[in-house]
Chains A and B, each alone.
Chain A
Amino acid sequence: AQTVTQSQPEMSVQEAETVTLSCTYDTSENNYYLFWYKQPPSRQMILVIRQEAYKQQNATENRFSVNFQKAAKSFSLKISDSQLGDTAMYFCAFLAYSGAGSYQLTFGKGTKLSVIP
């Protein structure tokens, strides 16, 4: 079974500063996908960034980038130039083939990020 661990339940950052959220996972699979999702108070989960395990290059989306360390099974999210609208719960998620034509998405417990003006 796959597990995803987010060791930081809560974090805060000053507006315009940079913050890094940690995520580690455990799997015996070689091919998988990793995601960071954001859930603001509106409750809707929004995809922030996605990484395919077979790609060595770290994914980047504007102010969001990841540090993907496959051997260490680590997938951290860096938010640069933090904005008030970044305040939300952030979930790390892992997707892999689970057999018999099925895929399963496993989420971490989340990190509550607060951006302070």
Chain B
Amino acid sequence: KAGVTQTPRYLIKTRGQQVTLSCSPISGHRSVSWYQQTPGQGLQFLFEYFSETQRNKGNFPGRFSGRQFSNSRSEMNVSTLELGDSALYLCASSPNRLSSPLHFGNGTRLTVT
């Protein structure tokens, strides 16, 4: 069974640009959640999607958004990039809601210059 796939692995963008990250969950998993990992703040919850609906959102500005498609694949978008958005973005999936153990992808390393 294929694991959680995140694309791209690495991304370099300039301030003010926007970026879209993709996450394909494990087959059959319906919940997808996103996390931002930085050396200073650690791992912070961004949002969770289940059955194409955002179920919960962390304390991030509206520049961070996402969506989930009918096949459970999810995308995360960050608009008007700032230097502080440089981070490792991790996606995780689980069969149902977050109560199930999460399976993480390898992440997308975003660098904003």
Tell me if B104 and A105 are in contact (CB < 8 A): no
Interface residues of B, count at CB 8 A? 23
Interface size bracket, A side: 20 to 34
- Look across to chain A and name the residue whose beta carbon is closest to the beta carbon of B57: A102
Tell me if B98 and A95 are in contact (CB < 8 A): yes
Tell me if A42 and B45 are in contact (CB < 8 A): no
Q: Describe A's contact surface by its main secondary structure.
A: strand
Contacts between chains A and B (CB distance < 8 A), count: 54
Asked whether any CB of chain A lies closer than 8 Å to the CB of B25, the reply is no
Tell me if B104 and A44 are in contact (CB < 8 A): yes
Asked whether any CB of chain A lies closer than 8 Å to the CB of B42, the reply is yes
**Listed stretches A15-23, A70-78, A106-114; interface member:** A106-114
- Look across to chain B and name the residue whose beta carbon is closest to the beta carbon of A50: B101
Tell me if A109 and B42 are in contact (CB < 8 A): yes
Q: List 20 A-B contacts (CB under 8 A).
A: A37-B104, A44-B104, A44-B105, A44-B106, A44-B107, A46-B104, A47-B103, A91-B42, A91-B43, A95-B99, A102-B55, A103-B97, A103-B99, A104-B48, A104-B56, A105-B35, A105-B45, A107-B42, A107-B44, A109-B42
